[in-house]
């Protein structure tokens, strides 16, 4: 086998390998989505109970992904969960937006939902979202239901 | 009776039956450590020739042809079949929970994170690693390496370094090809054969597979495996006993050692990358 043929085959091989990587990045992975750069701004929020939300969980509004959870810490001062959100720079939300923790489907992943308010002023980089709603803890819900039933029977 | 003219050798206190197993164990450990040290210095010497391997690119390109291009067929076919089997098995399990739309996620994540790098590296070790060891070992047995040294040609620069770097370059590309073809195989079986929704297959996959966390970590894994397999292959070849038996033993050792090294390194890398 001569030089030229070897060079040709190696060239084809490397091109195929790189094409496979590009395929993985853009078709299989989500590069080009939100994680692939783009302008982001940060919002802070505190939750009483973060539930099953993990770092990198989506932040959605009207079901569309508008950001990701960047960091979750425990605030030793207020004893609440301090969450940092990296929001897509294209979307701005009013100051009185409420953050709730929702579950997609019955057993799906948990995400943070933005319920848009009506304030004229918009949230900017580094702002804190005041109104949040904790995750629904199934055990609490069930026990509440049981107590209500018990109370009903006494009446 | 003059049976014992020589007085019985005094058994040294080190050689008693009680201590002998420990002495043997110690000898084994010492020998293994010596070999490991030699292999490490050999790796450093090879890495020192990165300039030579790049300057004399035709040599490296030739080796990429032998290690990479000639492994293409086995990697492509295995990738496709592994992906198709994942599609079948995943569909069978997922349909019990009524969540067959997650098939794309299952196929893509298992391939990109684990199966792509690991299975491609195992195939690479048995397809290309063994060939490298046999070639270098035979060169040593036929005294070609000594002849090079006689002519003031450094065999590490001329023979070992191009093969090593060719392996390191080929491995990530082969693993990426394996994963990509595996995803296509899963797509063929899942969507075309079993009727999973086309859009859900890809969108669920794209929502779950993260470029940095999953794909980049998979590439890092395959790169590490490439270094391990190439290192073991060239070292076993260079260290082989210069006999027909020695070469065959070295080839076997290459496959066994690199397979174990790949699986061990995979555990360690996974523990660091995906524990969160």
Residue B27: the pLDDT is 92
**Cβ-based contacts of A31 with chain B (< 8 Å):** 211, 215
Question: Which pLDDT belongs to residue B205?
Answer: 85
Q: What angle do CA B15, B21, B26 make, to 5 degrees?
A: 90
On the question of pLDDT at B3 being above 80, the answer is: no
Asked if B161 reaches chain A (Cβ–Cβ under 8 Å), the answer is no
Q: What is the pLDDT confidence band of residue A107, given thresholds at 50, 70 and 90?
A: low
Q: Which residue of B has its CA nearest to A27?
A: B206
Q: Specify the higher pLDDT residue, B222 or B201.
A: B222
Quote the pLDDT of residue A111. Answer: 85
How many angstroms separate the CA atoms of B63 and B158, rounded? 12
Q: Flag whether residue B83 sits within 8 Å of chain A, measured between CB atoms.
A: no
For testing contact with chain A, the best of B62, B65, B103, B186 (most A CBs within 10 A): B65
For residues A110 and A57, is the Cβ–Cβ distance under 8 A? yes
Residue B136 has pLDDT above 50, yes or no: yes
Q: Which of residues 40-59 of A touch B (CB under 8 A)?
A: 55-56
Q: Positive or negative, the Cα torsion across B58, A17, B112, A103?
A: positive
pLDDT at B88 over 80: yes
Average of per-residue pLDDT across A30-50: 74
Task: Say yes or no to pLDDT of B96 above 60.
Answer: yes
Please, what is the angle between helix B130-141 and helix B217-239, to 10°?
20
CB contact under 8 A, B209 and A30: yes
pLDDT above 80 (res A105) = no
Asked if B214 is an interface residue toward chain A (Cβ–Cβ < 8 A), one would say yes
pLDDT tens by residue, B21-59: 888 899 999 999 999 999 999 999 999 988 888 888 888
**B216: exposed, middle or buried (Cβ count in 10 Å: 0-12, 13-18, 19+):** middle
Q: In this structure, are residues B128 and B167 in contact, taking their beta carbons and an 8 Å threshold?
A: yes
Q: Could you tell me if A75 and A82 are in contact, meaning their C-beta atoms sit under 8 angstroms apart?
A: yes
Average pLDDT, chain B: 90
pTM assigned to the model: 0.74
Q: What is the pLDDT of residue A128?
A: 87
Does position A20 have pLDDT exceeding 80, yes or no? yes
Place of tokens 């005094």: B10
**How many angstroms separate the CA atoms of B227 and B168, rounded?**
5
Q: Give me the number of domains chain A comprises.
A: 1
A15 touches chain B (CB under 8 A): no
Where are chain B's structural domains? Answer: 57-273
Per-residue pLDDT tens over the stretch B170-218: 999 999 999 999 999 999 999 999 988 887 788 788 878 888 888 999 9
- Is the separation of the CB atoms in B117 and B225 below 8 Å? yes
The reply to whether A56 falls in a domain is: yes
- Average pLDDT of span B116-141: 95
pLDDT band at B4 (very low <50, low <70, confident <90, very high): low
Q: HEC string of chain B? A: CCCCCCCCCCCCHHHCCCCHHHHHHHHHHHHHHHHHHHHHHHHHHHHCCHHHHHHCHHHHHHHHHHHCHHHHHHHHHHHHHHHHHHHHHHHHHHHHHCCHHHHHHHHHHHHHHHHHHHHHHHHHHHHHHHHHHHHHHHHHHCCHHHHHHHCCCCHHHHHHHHHHHHHHHHHHHHHHHHHHHHHHHHHHHHHHHCCCCHHHHHHHHHHHCCHHHHHHHHHHHHHHHHHHHHHHHHHHHHHCCCCHHHHHHHHHHHHHHHHHHHHHHHHHHHHHHCCC
Task: Look up the domain containing A132 and give its range.
Answer: 40-142
CB contact at 8 A, A68 and A34:
yes
Among all residues of chain B, which has the CA nearest to that of A8?
B65
Q: In this structure, what are the phi and psi dihedrals at residue A114, rounded to the nearest 5 degrees?
A: -95, 115
Q: Using CA coordinates, name the residue in chain A closest to B219.
A: A21
pLDDT band at A106 (very low <50, low <70, confident <90, very high): low
A10-14, A62-66, A108-112, B9-13: lowest mean pLDDT where?
B9-13
Would you say residue A29 lies in a domain? no
Residue A85 forms part of a structural domain: yes
| A35, pLDDT greater than 50 | no
Contact list, A27 vs chain B (CB under 8 Å)? 183, 202, 206
Mean pLDDT of A33-52: 76
Residues whose CB falls within 8 Å of the CB of residue A155, separated by 6 or more in sequence, listed in order: none
Six-digit token string for B218? 């998979």
A97 occurs within a structural domain: yes
Q: At residue B100, does pLDDT exceed 50?
A: yes
Confidence of residue A40 (pLDDT cuts 50, 70, 90): confident
pLDDT confidence band for A36 (50 / 70 / 90): very low
* Sign of the torsion angle spanned by Cα atoms B59, B60, B62, B67: positive
Is A21 a domain residue? Answer: no
The whole-angstrom distance between residue A121's C-alpha and the CA centroid of its chain comes to: 24
Q: For A59-95, what is each residue's pLDDT tens digit?
A: 888 888 888 888 889 989 989 999 999 888 888 889 8
- A99-105's contacts with Cβ under 8 Å and 24+ in sequence apart are A99/A45, A99/A47, A99/A129, A99/A131, A99/A132, A99/A133, A100/A132, A100/A133, A101/A47, A101/A50, A101/A51, A101/A53, A101/A133, A101/A134, A101/A135, A101/A136, A102/A60, A103/A52, A103/A136
B2 pLDDT higher than 70: no
Contact list in B for residue A4 (CB cut-off 8 A) is none
With CB atoms and an 8 Å threshold, state whether A35 touches B210: yes
- Tell me, what's the pLDDT at B78? 96
As a whole-number percent, the residues of chain B with pLDDT over 90 amount to: 68
């Amino acid at each position: 086998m001569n030089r030229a043929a070897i060079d040709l085959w190696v060239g084809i091989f490397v091109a195929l390998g790189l094409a496979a990587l590009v395929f993985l990045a853009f078709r299989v992975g989500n590069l080009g989505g939100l994680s692939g750069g783009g302008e982001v701004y940060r919002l802070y929020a505190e939750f009483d109970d973060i539930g099953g939300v993990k770092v990198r969980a989506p932040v959605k509004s009207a079901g569309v992904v508008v950001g990701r959870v960047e960091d979750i810490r425990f605030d030793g001062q207020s004893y609440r969960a301090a969450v940092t959100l990296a929001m897509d720079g294209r979307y701005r939300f009013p100051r009185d937006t409420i953050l709730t923790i929702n579950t997609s489907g019955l057993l799906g992943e948990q995400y943070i939902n933005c319920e848009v308010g009506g304030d004229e002023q918009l949230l900017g980089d580094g702002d804190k979202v005041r109104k949040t709603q904790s995750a629904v803890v199934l055990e609490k819900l069930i026990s509440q239901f049981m107590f209500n039933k018990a109370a009903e029977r006494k009446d | 009776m003059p049976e014992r003219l020589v007085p019985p050798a005094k058994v040294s206190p080190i050689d008693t039956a009680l201590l002998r197993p420990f002495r043997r164990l110690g000898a084994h450990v010492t020998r293994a450590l010596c070999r490991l040290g030699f292999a490490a210095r050999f790796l450093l010497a090879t890495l020192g020739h990165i300039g030579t391997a790049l300057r004399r690119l035709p040599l490296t390109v030739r080796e990429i042809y032998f290690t990479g291009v000639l492994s293409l067929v086995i990697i492509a076919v295995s990738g496709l079949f592994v992906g198709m089997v994942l599609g079948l098995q995943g569909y069978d399990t997922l349909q019990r929970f009524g969540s067959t739309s997650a098939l794309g996620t299952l196929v893509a994540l298992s391939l990109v994170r684990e199966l792509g790098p690991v299975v491609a590296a195992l195939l690479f070790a048995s397809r290309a690693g063994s060939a490298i060891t046999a070639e270098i070992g035979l060169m040593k047995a036929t005294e070609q390496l000594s002849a090079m040294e006689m002519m003031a040609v450094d065999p590490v620069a001329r023979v070992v370094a191009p093969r090593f770097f060719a392996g390191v370059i080929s491995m990530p590309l082969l693993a990426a090809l394996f994963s990509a073809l595996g995803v296509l195989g899963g797509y063929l079986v899942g969507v075309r054969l079993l009727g999973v929704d086309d859009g859900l297959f890809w969108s669920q996959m794209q929502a779950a597979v993260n470029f940095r966390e999953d794909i980049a970590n998979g590439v890092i894994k395959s790169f590490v495996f490439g270094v391990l397999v190439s290192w073991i292959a060239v070292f076993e070849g260079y260290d082989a006993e210069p006999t027909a038996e020695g070469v065959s033993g070295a080839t076997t050792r290459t496959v066994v050692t690199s397979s174990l090294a790949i699986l061990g390194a995979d555990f360690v890398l996974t523990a660091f990358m995906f524990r969160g």
